[in-house]
Amino acid sequence: MNSPSAADALNDRLVNGPPILMDGGTGTEIERMGAAMHPTAWSARAALTDPDTVRSVHGAFLGAGAEIIIANTYPANYHVMAASGLTDEFEPANRRALELAHEAREVYRTQTADRTTWVAGSMSTTTFSSGLDQSIISTVHTPGEGYRAQANIIAEVDVDLIILEMMRDVTETRLCLDAAMETGLPVWLGLSIELSTDGDLALHGSKIRFADAVAQILDGRTALQAVGVMHSELSCTSDALETLSRLWDGPLFAYPHHGVFEMPHWRFDNTLAPEDFANAALDWIGQGATAVGGCCGIRPDHIAALRRRMNALRQP
C-alpha cells in the first residue's frame, strides 16, 4: 500500500501538477503476450488462467514510467461474466486481478523507490458490442446490483481509486458511477466518444450528443475526482477535452486507444509510433489534462516515450 496520504497526494498532483502518467492498454498487452482470450469475455479470466502474464504487464508499464496502473477488472463486470457462463468466476477473477496489480507494484518497489505509484480498480458498463446490448445487461435483474458487487470487491482489496472505463450511455453510466462512489474511494469517470455522422461528438456506439450526455451524467455528482476521455480515437480526444472543460471544472484526463477490436481480439495494425503518441499526449496536457496515458493498443514503448518527454519538460 501507499502511505496514508496517498489519496491526498493523488489529489494534489491532479490539482497542482506535475501531470500524472497513467499506464497503457492492459488487456491488449495481456493478449499480445499470449494469454488466453475468452470468446465473449475477452481478457476477463486472464488473472486466473495467466497470472504471471498479467503481473508482468503491470510491471512493464511501471518500468516504462507509469504512476497509475489499472487492474484488469474492466472486462469482468457482472453482466458480461454472467452472460458468458462465468458467474462462479466473477469474484475470483476480479479479486485476483486486483491482487496481481498490487503484487506488481510491490515487485517494482523492491527495485526502485523513485516515485509514488497508485493502483486503480476498473469498472465498466461494457457488453463487448458496438452499443450496449441490453440482453446481456439484463442478466442482472436488479439495476445497479452487478456494479455494486464489483465495486465492493474492488474496495475490499484496498485500491487507491476506481476508474470507470468506456462509459457510453447515460442510464447505465449513472448506475455504475453511483455504485463506485458509494465505496468512498476517489472515482474517475472515463467517457468513450466518437464522431457522429453529422460531425459532432457523440458517446461511442450511440446517438447521444456528447455535451448533452456529460451534463446528464454529471448532474449532482460533484464528488468525482476527475473526468476524462477514455477508449476513444486519438483524433477525437482534443475536441472532447475541450467540450469537457466547458462542462466540468475539476481535473481532466486523457486515455485514448489505437487499433481495432474484433471480438475477442485486438488488431495491432496501423501501428502508432511512440513519439507520435507522446506528441499528442503533450498537446492534451497543454489543454489542461493533468493525467495522461492510453488504453487498448497503447504499449509500454508508448508510455516510455511519453515519460521521457514529460521528464524533459521538468528540467530547469
Residue 18, C-alpha cell as written in the block = 506535475
Share in percent of the chain as helix, strand, coil (round to 5): 45, 20, 35
CATH number at residue 306: 3.20.20.330
Q: What are phi and psi of 214, to 5 degrees?
A: -60, -45
**215 within domain boundaries:** yes
- Comparing CA positions, the residue from 226, 229, 213 lying closest to residue 185 is 226
User: Please, is 303 exposed, middle or buried when counting C-beta atoms within 10 Å of its C-beta (0-12, 13-18, 19+)?
Assistant: buried
Q: How many domains does the chain have?
A: 1
The distance from CA 17 to its chain's CA centroid, rounded to whole angstroms, is 20
* pLDDT reported for residue 191: 96
In a domain, 220, yes or no: yes
Q: Does the residue 144 lie in any domain?
A: yes
* Pair 256, 295: CB distance under 8 Å: yes
CB 69 within 8 A of CB 105: yes
pLDDT at 2: 44
Q: 316 in a domain, yes or no?
A: no
Could you tell me which of 171, 163, 166 has the C-alpha nearest to residue 230?
Answer: 166
Which stretches does DSSP call E strand in 159-281?
A: 161-167, 187-191, 193-195, 201-203, 226-233, 252-257, 260-262, 265-267
DSSP 3-state of 137: helix
CA dist 285 and 18 (Å) reads 10
Question: Do residues 267 and 228 touch, judged by C-beta distance below 8 A?
Answer: no
Q: Is 295 inside a domain boundary?
A: yes
DSSP state of 114: S
Cα angle, residue 74 at apex, residues 245 and 203 outer, rounded to 5°: 40
Q: Compute CA distances 86 → 143, 218, 238, 262, whole Å.
A: 20, 32, 38, 21
> Residue 224 carries which DSSP code?
-
Q: Supply the pLDDT for residue 315.
A: 63
**What is the residue-level pLDDT of the chain in tens, covering all 316 positions?**
444 478 899 999 999 999 999 999 999 999 999 999 999 999 999 999 999 999 999 999 999 999 999 999 999 999 999 999 999 999 999 999 999 999 999 999 888 766 789 999 999 999 998 788 999 999 998 989 999 999 999 999 989 999 999 999 999 999 999 999 999 999 999 999 998 878 899 898 888 899 999 999 998 777 899 999 999 999 999 999 999 999 999 999 999 999 887 777 777 766 899 999 999 999 999 999 999 999 999 999 999 999 999 998 876 5
Give the range of the structural domain holding residue 255, as residue numbers without chain letter.
6-311
pTM (2 d.p.): 0.95
The span from the CA of 246 to the CA of 264, in Å, is: 36
Q: Is 226 helix (H, G, I), strand (E, B) or coil?
A: strand
- Asked if residue 1 is part of any domain, the answer here is no
CA atoms within 13 A on the CB side of 19: 26
Tell me the C-alpha to C-alpha distance, in Å, between residue 238 and each of 147, 199, 201, 252. 30, 14, 11, 12
- Amino acid in position 111: Q
- Whether a cis peptide bond, with omega within 30° of 0, leads into 143 is no
